[in-house]
Structure 1
C-alpha cells in the first residue's frame, strides 16, 4: 500500500549581528522557494504559504516541550558521533509574516549563544524540515541550529526510509500511515476522479437531451408564431379592405343624399369623390341646402342668377377656385 513520500531538507538564513541579539529568527521563506545549490531535486520547488504555515505552527504549539536550537545540528548527529547536544536556545512558537515567511519568535538564547552571535562566531540559523517530495509542501520544522555551514554534510543520508525512521524516533513526524491519515491514496484519488468523470458524462448527456428537447419546442413555437403573424396580417388586411369599402359606400351615400337634399350641386360631384370621408362629412355638416333657384332641376337645369350665394362662395373657397371658375363649372354641367 503506497504512502506519501516524505523527505528532509534544510535552509539557512543569516542572523543580524549586533549589540542586541534578536529574539526572533527567520526559518523559511515564502514559497515556492529553492536553495542556492539547486535543491530540491525531487520536486519543482518547496511550497509554503499562510495556510501551509498555519499547520506547521500548530504542530509546534501542540508539542509540550520547547523546541531546541542547537549548534551545527548536533541533535541530528549525536546518535552517530556520540557527542553531547548543547543548547544554544529554545522557543515554543512561530509566526507567519506575509511577504517574508516563517519565523521562530520568543527565542530564549543562552548567554553563550548570545555572545557567540554578537561576536559573529555564528552567522546563520538553519532549519531542517519535512516536506512531501511529490508536491514540495512543507510539513514540519524538526530541527533548528546555529551554524556556519548552511548545507549540512550527511543530510542526504537521512533522506532514505531508514533515515526517516531514525528521525521519527527523535522528532514528531506527522502521521502519514494510509490506514490512519485522511490523505487519500493515489488509487483512491483515481477512483474518485473516475466516479466524477462518469457523473459528469451522465450530467452532460442529460443536458444534451434537454437541449435537443428545447430546440424542438423552440422550432414548434417559432412555427406557431409565424402562423399567428400570418393570420394577423390577413385579418388586418381584411379589416382595412372592409373599412375602405365601407368608407367608399358611405361617401357614395353622402354624395347621393347631398345631391338629393340640395346641399351640394351636381357640379361638385367629381370634387366630392376625391375627398376623404372625414373631410366630406365635415363639409356637408356645415353646408345648408341650396335655394331651389340654384339647383339643377328637371330637363332645363336652370342655374339661377350669375351671383354666388354665401354657401356657394364658401364651397368655392374650400375647393380653391374663383367665383368665376365656379360659375363656369355650374354652367358647363347645367348645359348637359
Structure 2
C-alpha cells in the first residue's frame, strides 16, 4: 500500500492507498523479502480511484534519478515503521518502533525498488507468519502527479484506507502548508528551485541541504574567511573565469606548427652527429695539409688534433698564420733521381797520389764512378 503526500505550493495533503503485497515479492519460503518494489513504473492510481487532483501518479527512470541520488546522500536510512506510527506518535504519544530499514534505491524496468531492506527479528517473524502483509510508502508529488520525494514506509494490514485524518495532521506539522488553494509557487519555492539548479542538488534537496552547499561555496570563494571577507561579485567572477579560459584557448599551441619534444630531440641528436662528422673531416684535412707543407711538425700533430676537437676555428687560425718550412715540404732533387757526376779525368793531385801509393789510375777512376 502506498500513502501519497501531495506537495503543492502548498495547499493540501492527501493520502491514497496502493497495495504492495509482501507475499508476492519472490522471497524464499520462510524468509522476509530484502528487495521490495515501492513504486510501479508508468502511471498508476489507488484502488479507491485517487488521485483526484491529477490524472494519475507518475514514476519513470527520470523521476527516479533524483530520489536515488537523495537516498545515496542521506546520513540515515529510511525507516519502515508499523502503521505509520512515526507520524501518529506526535498525537497519540506512543513510541514508533521500526520494523525495518533500507538505504539504497534502484530503478528497474517495472518500478522503483528498495534493494537492501533489513528487518527486525520481530518484524521478519510476523511477515513470515503473514501477521503483516502490506507496505505503505509515503511519497510527495507535484501538480502533474509526478513523484518528487520518498518520505518513509510503513508495515500495515490496511491497504485501502480512504482517509487518515490523524496522519494528515502529523504530516502537516512536518511539511508546512498554506491556507490558500492557489497552485502558484511562492517566491521562496522558486528561489529554492533555482538554488538547487545552481548548486547541482537533487530535486528533493531541503532548505538545510541548500544552506550547507551555499556555505561550502562561501568558504571556497572567501578562502575560509566566510561572510567576514570582502563581498564577491559572483557574476563578475564567472565572467573573468570565462575570459581566462578563452584567452588560454586562443593561445593554445597549434599542433600543425610545432613538433613533439621527442622528435625535436632526435633531430638535434642527428644534427650534432652530422656536425661532429663534418668537423672531424675538416680537422683531418687541416692537420694533413699542415703536416705536408711544414706548417705543423710531426711532434705537434697530437696537440693540433686535441685543439681542433674542441675549437677547430682556433686551429685553423693558427695554421693560417704558421710559416711553411720548404725543407720539410720538398726534396733537393724535386722528386727526381739524383745525378751522380762522374770524373772523366783524374786531376794532377789525384795522379800524384796514385803514383805515391802505387795505385792504378784507371781503377781509382772506376771507383770514383768514372766507369760503370
TM-score (norm: length of structure 1): 0.47
